[in-house]
Structure formats: structure tokens, C-alpha cells
Chains A and B, each alone.
Chain A
Amino acid sequence: MDFTLKIWRQENQKAKGRFETYKIKDISPDCSFLEMLDILNESLVNKLSHPVCFDNDCREGICGMCGLYINGRPHGPDDAVTTCQLHMRKFTDGETITIEPWRAKPFPVIRDLVVDRTALDKMIQEGGYISVTSGGVPDGNAIPIPKHKADQAMDSASCIGCGACIAACKNASAMLFVGAKVTQLALLPQGKPEAAIRVQKMVAKMDELGFGNCTNTYACEAECPKEIKRSNISRMNLEFILAKIVSEETI
């Protein structure tokens, strides 16, 4: 298959970016999207130019490191996949493919298609955990957890932190990301003691870092490679309201 690629190039955070056009030929339909970029990069090195920088690591859809905005969609034209799991068979021969970095104010561009997503870690550091230290915890079976609750918590916990939800949202809202963590821990008895403080702190941090509010368009849910449900946002809102009204602990 042959393609024309329009790729965002930007030397560093301060430099002015631009689209560059590349032609690429004889790509197998079974080639993954990132392998197609590897082929492009190898040809750029052969031409003595600088390859396109893009983040990637596990290449099996679980580390959340890759994330490209392809033809106007985070992770491109397939459902429930990360960019690394996208294959060229999803495109048509001769197509022009536009590749951009995640676009969101809290995710500044580092170089080309690489963005800084440390804001995600900063929100987790505000309380996206249960404050236990190593050792001195009860037996794993001491607290039975209803199967459906454990399963629901697992669905929320399967977030890979790629940021597609934020890139998809016109407000760059991080509510699906934060909501998933808040929900996972709120569903489990172990997470209850800190639930009220957790949701308040994480929401405050989310606002402080410049993530917008929910637009209710559910683009986040539609583009999430792990199919995390928007009900996680509702749950977070509920937890937040309860924390503000009922809880004695406020921040």
C-alpha cells in the first residue's frame, strides 16, 4: 500500500511547528501503524535527516506510551485500540494520513509528536492511591469483596493513562481519567476511608493543571482504547458531591 503522510514537526516546545509531507510506498496491510513510521524513519536516516520523534514502548496496547492523533482521531480509525495496535489494513491504498501530537494545553509538545504527559502523574500523586505502606496489612481474603464490585473496579482500573480521552475532548477534560481512578478505589472497601479526601484533592489538582470541564459529548468514552465508560465520570461527580455535602473532611 502507498500513503502520503502529513506529519507535525516541531524541534522543541518553543519552536514553531509545521506539517511536513512524506510519501511512503509498498507498505504491507499487516504492518502496524508504528512499524510504518519505523520504515519512514529508517528512510529519513538513510537520507541523513532527523527521524520523526514519537513515543512508544510496549507495542501491545498496555503501557499507554504511544498516542497519535491520526486523521482527527486519537489512536486513529479503529475502535478500542491504541496507536500501536492500529494496522495499515484499516486505511485505504493511496490515502493521505494526517498525524498530529495530542492537542491539549496541559500536554506541551516536547518534540514532533511527543508530548509531556506528566500532568497525569501529578493528579495520581494527589490521592489516586490507598495510603498503605509495605507490610502490616491483613490477609488477602480477610475482606470479601462482592464479585460484581471487584469486576467493576477492574473495568475502571484498566485505564492505561494514554491521555486519548483528554486529546479527544474539546475542553481537554481529564474527568474520564480521574473518574476511573476515583471509581476504582471508591468501589472497594479498602478505598473507602480516604474516598472523600481523594476525590476533592484530585479534582482540585485537575482544575489547577488546566484541564477543562466535561462537555457531555462523550468523545472520551468513544475514543478510549480500553473502553472505559462515562459512568466513571458520573461516579466521580457523585463522590465529589457526597464529599462536599456529607463528609466532615474537606480540603
Chain B
Amino acid sequence: MSTLDSKIPEGQLSEKWTRYKSSQKLVNPANKRKLDIIVVGTGLAGSSAAASLGALGFNVKIFCISDSPRRAHSIAAQGGINAAKNYQNDGDSIERLFNDTIKGGDYRAREANVYRLAEVANSIIDQGVAQGIPFARDYAGLLDNRSFGGSQVSRTFYAKGQTGQQLLLGAYSALSKEIKAGTVKMYERREMMDLVVIDGQARGIITRNLQTGELERWSSHAVVMATGGYGNVYFLSTNAMECNGSAAVQCYHKGAMFANPCFVQIHPTCIPVKGDYQSKLTLMSESLRNDGRIWVPKNIEDAKAIREGKLNPTDLKEEDRDYYLERRYPAFGNLVPRDIASRAAKERCDAGYGVGAGFAVYLDFKTAIERLGRDKIQERYGNLFQMYEKIVDVDPYENPMMIYPAVHYTMGGLWVDYELQTTIPGLFATGEANFSDHGANRLGASALMQGLADGYFILPYTMQNFLADKIHQPRVSIETKEFDEAEKSVRAKLESIMAIKGEKTVDTLQRELGHIMWEYVGMGRNAEKLTKAIPMLADLRKEFWSNVRVTGDMNSMNPELAKALRLADHIELAEIMAKDALQREESCGGHYREEYVTDEGEARRDDKNFMFVGVWEYKGEEQEPIMHKEELNYEFINVQQRNYK
């Protein structure tokens, strides 16, 4: 299909990126100063891109939804970042990282993009060290590694349980340097409201100043979406409160196609839900599965007694515990990929073996503490244990942690080609906001890797290739009719939400959306549930537009209004997520259709009919979107059934 040209360079997999870089167009320093770039989002992907592009000499404007780039939710990534340095001499290589990532994604990612990711990953570690990131080191003073799910080598670099924080602060420091130098201008407490497209090219954005309510116009030669994922469609997720897919929906409305919306990652190790008032879920890092062992009682009576508070888990004998991951997947044990670990936990709980309120399993450090000592465990995971204790009020050094799967990451996102450009020329998408590298399931410690690879090492090349043709394109005025129309439609949307004055609060409707999504488009999907979900979502959309209640006014700080705007877009996203999940009649990665399973209860892929990216095109309000297909051709990799046994 001509609209979906992935622009993968010719040649051997290992030569594609080198070949691309040696033949791409460049922009000379004098011309770079004449070209403007807008970056929306200040997480790893946005900050690293803005800093790198600013250092090259482009004029960059970066927009931050909160008061500082350091708040972006990349900061909460705990466990680590992958790179194939092979410092441990355990057989790692770029090929192996590439293979693990493709396999982990259940063969639904684009080969050339993933290979490039594995190729540049090593440079991220070097960059981080040079920035002063205090990665964990061994006694020789060299960088230390740990293991993560879906691999049999130790390739994960880490900084305690705060790797995301340290990497984000690294990117933030690079960004701060450019802000000081004047190459990047920073606009905080701004939320994108619309994309402005002129003559088919992305030429600017409309923002709302969250502090004053004012609408503002910004023009540029190219726009980068680094706005993260849409996990908050489920209401309860490990995402931060401000994380949202609203900006991506605006781009979708303006013609950027949306790829694989149904691919959502459910993370196996989160603190279980405790009450109706709950506003978000907290992740317990996957790195804990290095030393923690997951189990439930072997006997259903013991599970019942524990739930009723009649039995203490620490009193349960070793032979009465079912370490179900070690039992089912002896080769990978507790370190199977996230989708598999999540489903296995759900299977045990659904069968009646759950603990806590019935929807929890144990993550136990007893063996590790006996083997390594409490100090070692504290050094490795101290902050996570403290976090757990503060939330649950139980000491995890003495009692096993209770965990349950929760929505964590969205592999789907804006469709991009090899250059990370969407279907709108001049609009690029990076990090979690795009879809390209993780297929149907992302491996742990790969989100940080992808966000930074895109920002530091890929966009600075591919955007130049695009901008080289724009050196004669003058700066566009913000007084054009396209800007007028965009601002007018945003204002109309704001006014109509304020005018509804209905009965239901934004939080109430958001919970309803979350409930529909978790029950019908959640961990176990089937045609019946999905067919029910679609009209329910359409009804919810109607209810929102007729019955939402937002108080206050639109010309001042009004978080309720900001939440309402995001919710409107999330309902729409939910609809294409359900439609995408319905059309994909197979189980792959995080997308588990109960009708398509093997005799052993594992996900059953259908490579013959579904080895494609589902790419959705917006056709207008009340119109059915159209799905296009980007066929995935695996030229170099041997496609297999995933096996972690």
C-alpha cells in the first residue's frame, strides 16, 4: 500500500542503518539555524531528542505538561536499561538482543527497526556514563548488570531501583545545557490541543497554558510527538496521573494513522488494588524477579485460609507452595516475559488460588535473603521495599510481597516508518508514542532503551534527512487560516465541555471507561466481550458529551477541565482499541484471545493471517475508521513459536 511505505533501506540487516546514515541528506550549520522544530513531551524520548537536535544547531521549542521535564513518567522506570555490551562474557551480542526483542514481541515488530535499536543501545550506556549517571558498579569499579525477563544473559544496566530517574535526569541535564545555551526554549505547564497541518505538512501546534487557560499558537518546520502511551485509558494503571493519549488522538484526527492500538502490556508485578478510592497502581520492578520467587498455595484450602486471615503465608511449608512459573517454564522460571507471567498469575487466581482479596500472588524473597543476606537485598532493591511498605504497611523483608498484574505500557501508537515519521510529512513520533519496536509485547528494560535510542541517536539523523528539503521553506506565520481554524475548533471544544454542566464527574466517567476496558478489552479477550464493549464505549462517548460536569472556568488553572479533555480522547482511543482487538483473531504477546490458545493454554499465533501491523485511519466523526495492513516480512529471523519452557 502506497500510504504505508516503511522506507526500510536495502541490504543486509546489519548494514541498513550504516547505509542509511552514509547516504542520507544533511543540513549545513548555517541552515540549521533557520529551521524550527517543536518537540511535545519531555520524557526520555522528548528531552533526549530536543537536547540532541538543539546541540546540532536547530531551533527547538519543547513543551512540558508539568512544571519541569524531571516530572515525566520515564522517571518512574525502576529496573534498568538493556544493552548488548557483553561485559559479563555470557554470550550476549547485538544479534542476540535483536533476537530476544523480536521473540519477546511475539514476532509482531518490524525487523529493521528492532535491529537498529539493538545496534545503538550500547551508545546509550556510554552516553549515560559520560553525563554522570551513577550506574551500579562492581568492586573493580566497572559497570554491573542484572537479568530481566525474556533473556538468558545479564545485559541490564541499572542505578538501584531508580534507573529511569537517573536516565531521565541525564537527559534533563543535557536539555538544561541546551536551554542555557539558547538552542532550546522550554515551555512548561502547556498541553497540546491540536496539530496544525498546512499543505499536508505538520507545521505547528496549538497549546493550552494550564496555568492561565490561554490558547497559544506555535509554528515550525517539523513536529516531534514524544507524548508517551495511553495506558490510562484503563483508569487504573501504573502510569502517572498526567499521562495521556490525547495528543496522539489529535494527530490521528489530522491524518496520522494509529498502529496496533490493542497491544497493551499488563505488567505482572504491581501492588494489588485495595479500594474504590484508588487512583493509580504502583509497579514493583521486574528486576525483583531476579531474586524473588512467585508462588501461590498448592492447596486451594490453604489459599482460602490465607484469604480469611486464618493462615499466615510464612507458616506454609515449602512443599505446600506452588512456584507455578518455575513449574510451567523451567528454562526461564520467574524470568519469563511479562505477558506470560501476567496470564499465569490470572490463571491461578481465577482457579481460586489467589491470596489477599483473591486477586494477588506472592513474590517471596525468603530464599534470596537466606542466600545473600538482608544487606545485599537492601542494596539491590531497598527503595522498592520501602515503597511497598509505605503503601501496604507490611514489611516485605519479613513477609512475602503481594502482587497482581496491572496495565503498564502500550506497544501500539502512532504509525511510523523507518525514519520515525508518521503518515503526516513532518510529524515524527518517538518513544512509547510510536509503535515500532516492541511488537505485541515489550521486554523489560527496553522502554528506556527505545526512548533514548530514538532521541539521542536516530531522530537527529532522520529528521535532518527530512529537513534538508525544507531549507528554502520560510517560517510560517501563526496568523494563517489553518492556525485560525485549529484554534477555533479547540475553543469550541472547550466551550462545549464547559456548557454541558451534567451530572457525572470526570472521575466517575473515567472509572466507567476503565471498568469497560479492564473487563472487556483486558487481559483475556474474546469476540463476545469485544462485541459488547464497542457499543458500550459508543454509549459512554455520548454520555460524556451530554452529561459530564466540569466546574470552574476555562480561563484559569482548571485540572478538571484538563482531565475532561483527555477523557474525551481516551474514549475514542478505547473504541479503536476494541475494534483492533476484535479484528485480530489470534493470540500474540499481550493480546490474548481466549478462543486462540494451544492445548497447554499458551497463546496461539496465526502467522498465516495476522503477521501484519493493524494501522487505523480516521475517517471523521461518526464514521467507521478504516484499517490498513503493513505486512511484516521476516527476511533474516527464523519465526518460531515462543517457547520459554
Contact = CB atoms under 8 A, between A and B. Distances in A.
Interface in B64-99: 66-73, 75-76, 85, 87
A129 B73 contact: no
Closest 6 CB pairs of A and B: A144-B141, A129-B173, A137-B130, A154-B134, A153-B134, A133-B55
Interface stretch (B158-166, B401-409, B418-426): B158-166
Interface stretch (B10-18, B30-38, B174-182): B174-182
Contact of A59 (B132, B241, B386, B460): B241
Interface string A129-150: 1111111011111011111001
B391 interface: yes
Interface in A51-90: 51, 53, 55-65, 78, 80-81, 85, 87, 89
A140 B282 contact: no
Secondary structure at the A interface, as helix, strand, loop or mixed, is loop
Interface of B: 48, 51-52, 55, 66-73, 75-76, 85, 87, 123, 125-143, 157, 159-160, 162, 165-166, 169, 172-174, 176-177, 179-180, 186, 188, 211, 240-242, 274-275, 277-280, 282-283, 383, 386-387, 390-391, 393, 456-457, 460, 505-508, 549-552, 556-560
A240 B200 CA distance: 55
Contacts of A216: none
A128 B173 CA distance: 7
A48 B552 CA distance: 8
A55 B174 contact: no
A219 interface: no
Nearest to B390: A85
A128 B123 CA distance: 22
Nearest to A29: B393
B557 A85 contact: no
Contacts of A28: 274-275, 277
Contacts of B131: 129-130, 132, 190
Contacts of A145: 137, 141
Contacts of A114: 557
A12 interface: yes
Contact of A135 (B138, B141, B456): B456
Interface stretch (A35-43, A164-172, A229-237, A243-251): A35-43
Given A114-B557, A125-B180, A134 B457 contact: yes
Contacts of B557: 12, 53, 110-111, 114
B52 A57 contact: no
A114 B157 CA distance: 36
B127 A57 contact: no
A162 B226 CA distance: 24
Given A49-B551, A62-B75, A157-B133, 10 more contacts: A12-B557, A50-B558, A53-B559, A110-B211, A129-B131, A132-B174, A133-B55, A138-B130, A158-B162, A161-B68
Interface stretch (A1-9, A91-99, A115-123, A206-214): A115-123
Contacts of A81: 390
Contact of A157 (B166, B177, B211): B166
Contacts of B460: 134
A131 B180 CA distance: 11
A65 B69 CA distance: 11
Given A131-B177, A161-B70, A42 B507 contact: yes
Contacts of B159: 154, 157
Contact of A35 (B52, B71, B142, B278): B278
B142 A141 contact: yes
Contact of A48 (B125, B134, B456, B551): B551
